[in-house]
Amino acid sequence: MDSDKVENEAKELNSKKGNFSLDVQEMMEAGLHFGHRISRTHPKMRPYIFGIRGTVHIIDLEKTVQKMQEALTFIKELVSEGKSIMIIGTKIQVRDIVREMAEECGLPYVNQRWIGGTFTNFDFIRKRIDYLKELEKKKAENAFEKYTKKERAKIDKEIRDLEEKFGGIKNLEKLPDAIFVIDMNKEKVAIKEAKKKGIKIIAIADTNADPTLADYPIPANDDAMSSVRYILDKVAQVIKKYKK
């Protein structure tokens, strides 16, 4: 697909904005339109493909605008009703972005390894979180001062390990109403658990993913940090504006 043709398409799409400010030129500059190699394309993503550049599929940004509008509208309704969203992104390159955005918006998040059973065995997970909080409280009260240096070091390591696993969901008292997933293939266990528990799924759907697994798929590049940041910035804007 000729790059000039892609850029001309982007200019035309800017006149089709919906309720949220989505600039197609900015999307292109952030690399949202770059998919994976043709050989890795999931057949159910074909309706969202605009063309080919070299050996890489180009995502149809008109579809991206449409699907992102739908996702942002849903997020607006969700947070306006006081419901919760969990952000999930465990790929190394997006961990910091996920944490920063989630903490900025006051959302639960998982940016390290997904712990199996987080949704399907939530009562057990809550017990581990309560244990972490208990350890942190005791440490803050200097309750471990009577222990040996070796014992305190062991407790400190346990706290660090638990914090890495559960720190982002420490304040999650019940299952979230929705999850926002960065990489559908990477987070397939989380998606499977969410479906079992009736949790709505919003997700970035790259060309190698099955978009039908999400209730609100957003066709876009899920590898480039610039693409992920662009999308999360839009989500954050909506949450901060409408959150109760």
Set out the domains of the chain in order of their start, with CATH numbers.
3-119+175-242 (3.40.50.10490), 122-168 (1.10.287)
More confidently predicted of 142 and 221? 221
Convert the pLDDT of each residue in 193-205 to its tens digit.
999 999 999 999 9
Using pLDDT thresholds of 50, 70 and 90, give the confidence band for residue 39: confident
Count CB-CB contacts under 10 A for residue 222: 27
pLDDT at 17: 44
Q: Do residues 58 and 52 make contact, with C-beta atoms less than 8 angstroms apart?
A: yes
pLDDT at 217: 98
pLDDT at 226: 96
Question: CA–CA separation, 170 vs 210, rounded Å?
Answer: 31
Residues shown for the chain: 244
Residue with tokens 């419901």: 83
| Mean pLDDT, residues 207-214 taken together | 97
Question: CA–CA separation, 171 vs 133, rounded Å?
Answer: 10
pLDDT at 47: 95
CA neighbor of 12 nearest in space, from 30, 28, 1: 28
Distances in Å between the Cα of 20 and the Cα atoms of 71, 220, 221 are: 11, 17, 20
Q: Which residues, including other chains, have CB under 8 Å from residue 23's CB and lie 6 or more apart?
A: 14, 17
Using pLDDT thresholds of 50, 70 and 90, give the confidence band for residue 40: confident
| Mean pLDDT, residues 211-235 taken together | 97
- Token couple for 112: 């390290």
pLDDT at 119: 97
Using pLDDT thresholds of 50, 70 and 90, give the confidence band for residue 9: very low
φ and ψ of 37, to 5 deg: -60, 150
pLDDT at 20: 77
* Neighbouring C-alpha atoms within 13 Å toward the C-beta of 162: 19
Q: Helix, strand, or coil here: 40?
A: helix
Convert the pLDDT of each residue in 105-157 to its tens digit.
999 999 999 999 999 999 999 999 999 999 999 989 888 888 888 998 999 99
pLDDT at 75: 97
Q: Where are the alpha helices (DSSP H) in the chain?
A: 3-13, 24-30, 61-80, 95-105, 122-140, 149-166, 188-196, 225-242
Question: CA–CA separation, 40 vs 183, rounded Å?
Answer: 15
Answer yes or no: is pLDDT of 183 > 70. Answer: yes
Residues forming a β-bridge with 85 = 178
pTM: predicted TM-score of the whole model, two decimal places = 0.88
